[in-house]
Structure 1
Amino acid sequence: MSERTLHLNVNVIASGAHPAAWRLPEANRRAFFDPAHYANVARIAEAGLFDTAFMADNSFLHPDGYPNSGLDPIVTLSAMAAATSRIGLVGSYSTTFHHPYGIARAFASLDHLSAGRIGWNVVTSRNKPEGLNYGFSDLPDRETRYGRALEAVEIVTALWDSWQPGALVLDPATGIAVDRDLIKPIDYVGEHFSVAGPLQLPPSPQGRPLITQAGGSEGGLDLAARFADAVFTSALYIEPAREYYAKLKAAVARYGRSPDRIAIMPGINPVIGSTEEEARRRIAEHDEIVGPVGGQLEKFAKWVGVDPGALDPDRPFPLELLQPTGGTYSSVGFDTAARLYLERNRHRTVRELAADGRQGHRNLVGSAEQVADDLENWFRTGAADGFVIQFDTLPGGLELFVEHVVPLLQKKGIFRREYGENTLRERFGVPYVRG
Structure 2
Amino acid sequence: MADHLAVLNMPTEALKRSHTTTSFEPFTLLSALSQVTERIGLAATASTTYDEPYHIARRFASLDHISNGRAAWNIVTTGNPESSKNFGRDEHMQHSDRYKRAREFYDVVTGLWDSFADDAFVRDQESGIYLNPDKMHVLNHSGGELKVRGPLNIARPVQGWPVIVQAGQSEPGRQLAAETAEMVFCSPKDLKSAKELYADIKGRAVAAGRDRDHIRILPAGMIIIGDSAEDAQAKRLKLDSLVHYDSAISSLSIALGTDASGFDPDAPLPKDLPPTNASHTARAGVLRLAEEEQLTVRQLAQRYGGYTGLAFVGTPETIADEMATWLAEDACDGFTVTLPYLPQGLDDVTQRLVPELQRRELFRKEYEGTTLREHLGLPRPENRFFS
TM-score in terms of structure 1 length: 0.80
Equivalent-residue separation in structure 2 for 1:322 and 1:228 (angstroms):
36
Q: Does 1:364 align with 2:316?
A: no
Task: Label 1:311 to 1:304 Cα distance change in 2 as closer, same or farther (>3 A).
Answer: farther
Task: Label 1:366 to 1:342 Cα distance change in 2 as closer, same or farther (>3 A).
Answer: farther
Find the counterpart in structure 2 of residue 29 from structure 1: none
1:20-419 mapped onto 2 (5 Å cutoff): 55-62=1-8, 63=10, 64=15, 65-68=17-20, 70-287=23-240, 289-291=242-244, 296=248, 299-300=251-252, 302-304=254-256, 307-313=260-266, 317-318=268-269, 321=271, 323=273, 328-346=276-294, 353-357=300-304, 359=307, 361-419=309-367
User: Between Structure 1 and Structure 2, how many residues are aligned?
Assistant: 374
Task: Label 1:58 to 1:428 Cα distance change in 2 as closer, same or farther (>3 A).
Answer: same
Displacement after TM superposition at 1:283 (Å): 3.4
Q: Deviations over 1:136-165 (max 9, x none)?
A: 111110111111111111110001111124
Contact 2:72/2:163 (<8 A) preserved? yes
Task: Label 1:133 to 1:349 Cα distance change in 2 as closer, same or farther (>3 A).
Answer: closer
SS state of the match for residue 126, structure 1? coil
Query: Comparing both chains, which one has the higher relative contact order based on Cα–Cα distances under 8 Å and sequence gaps of 6 or more?
Result: 1
Greater CA deviation, 269-278 or 197-206? 269-278
TM-score in terms of structure 2 length: 0.89
Contact 2:163/2:373 (<8 A) preserved? yes
Equivalent-residue separation in structure 1 for 2:142 and 2:255 (angstroms):
39
Q: Which amino acid aligns with 1:66?
A: S
Greater CA deviation, 82-91 or 66-75? 66-75
Equivalent-residue separation in structure 1 for 2:129 and 2:179 (angstroms):
37
Equivalent-residue separation in structure 2 for 1:119 and 1:166 (angstroms):
23
Greater CA deviation, 333-342 or 215-224? 333-342
Displacement after TM superposition at 1:321 (Å): 2.7
Equivalent-residue separation in structure 2 for 1:416 and 1:322 (angstroms):
50
Identity of aligned residues (%): 35
Displacement after TM superposition at 1:364 (Å): 2.8
SS state of the match for residue 35, structure 2? helix
Q: Deviations over 1:162-216 (max 9, x none)?
A: 1124212111122111101110100001122111111111112111100001111
Contact 1:143/1:219 (<8 A) preserved? yes
Q: Which amino acid aligns with 2:185?
A: F
Contact 1:338/1:360 (<8 A) preserved? no
Contact 1:234/1:334 (<8 A) preserved? no
Contact 2:257/2:279 (<8 A) preserved? no
Equivalent-residue separation in structure 2 for 1:298 and 1:427 (angstroms):
38
Q: Does 1:425 align with 2:373?
A: yes
Q: Deviations over 1:367-392 (max 9, x none)?
A: 22222222222222111112222211
Pairwise CA RMSD of aligned residues? 2.3
Contact 1:225/1:252 (<8 A) preserved? yes
Equivalent-residue separation in structure 2 for 1:131 and 1:295 (angstroms):
23
Q: Deviations over 1:204-238 (max 9, x none)?
A: 21111000011112222222111111111121122
Equivalent-residue separation in structure 2 for 1:195 and 1:139 (angstroms):
23
Task: Label 1:222 to 1:290 Cα distance change in 2 as closer, same or farther (>3 A).
Answer: closer
Q: Structure 1: where are the runs of 5+ without partners?
A: 1-54
Equivalent-residue separation in structure 2 for 1:412 and 1:311 (angstroms):
50
Equivalent-residue separation in structure 1 for 2:302 and 2:108 (angstroms):
45
Displacement after TM superposition at 1:299 (Å): 3.7
Task: Label 1:298 to 1:423 Cα distance change in 2 as closer, same or farther (>3 A).
Answer: closer
Equivalent-residue separation in structure 1 for 2:197 and 2:299 (angstroms):
28
Q: Structure 2: where are the runs of 5+ without partners?
A: none
